[in-house]
Amino acid sequence: MTRPRFATYRSVLLVAACLIVASCAHETHQTRETYQERAKLIKDHADSFYGNLKTNQVEAAIRDNRKIEAMASQMGDTVRKRTGQPATPTVEQELALLNTANATAATNWLALGQYYTIKRQYPQARAIYRRLIDSYTNSTDRPYREQALRALKDLDSRHPPTTTTANP
């Protein structure tokens, strides 16, 4: 007995649909794993940053924070490339990670400024606060800029910058 063409066609469509669904599920699983891995990496760098500050390893802390900033930059590139495309869970996750990385790095710079202030290294504290103010210019970064501006103002009022004048 021969199968009607419609039944064969329907079977092929069913198999194709199953393969597409399986492929999408696999891609979603991979995306979730990548998201979790990258979120963990941000957390690990942040933990390392604070661990390094506690042990006065400032250069290592700065390197950790720059790694977080580099991750944010890469994520920003990915999000910008997808601008104008329909929103997908991958793009939404990438944007969430970008915001997390930016917030983490900005918070770390504020902590480093406080560290320098506590250690009475006022020029370094000023430089960190100015770096944050100059580098974090997006509207979402406004709270961090405002905190840095307040910290800089407080620092300048309590410990005015020393100026050196050249003797003529």
Residue pLDDT, tens place only, 87-113: 677 778 888 899 999 999 999 999 999
What is residue 30's predicted lDDT score, i.e. its pLDDT? 46
pLDDT band at 25 (very low <50, low <70, confident <90, very high): very low
Indicate if the pLDDT at residue 150 is higher than 70. Answer: yes
Of 103, 94, 104, whose CA–CA distance to 142 is shortest?
103
**Separation of alpha carbons 89 and 38, rounded Å:** 15
Q: How far is it, in rounded angstroms, from Cα 136 to Cα 129?
A: 11
Closest CA to 113 of 132, 128, 93: 128
- Give 140's DSSP letter: G
The residue type at 126? R
In tens, the pLDDT along 54-94 reads 999 999 999 999 999 999 999 888 878 877 777 677 778 88
Query: What sign for the dihedral angle of Cα 147, 106, 141, 43?
Result: negative
Quick one: which of 136, 128, 139 has its CA closest to 102?
A: 136
State yes or no: pLDDT of 133 exceeds 80: yes
pTM score of the predicted model: 0.75
Confidence of residue 140 (pLDDT cuts 50, 70, 90): very high
- Burial readout 70-107 (b: 16 or more C-beta within 10 A, e: otherwise): ebbeebbeebeeeeeeeeeebbebbbebbbbbbbbbbb
Query: What is residue 146's three-state secondary structure?
Result: helix
| Res 78: pLDDT | 81
The per-residue pLDDT for 29 is: 45
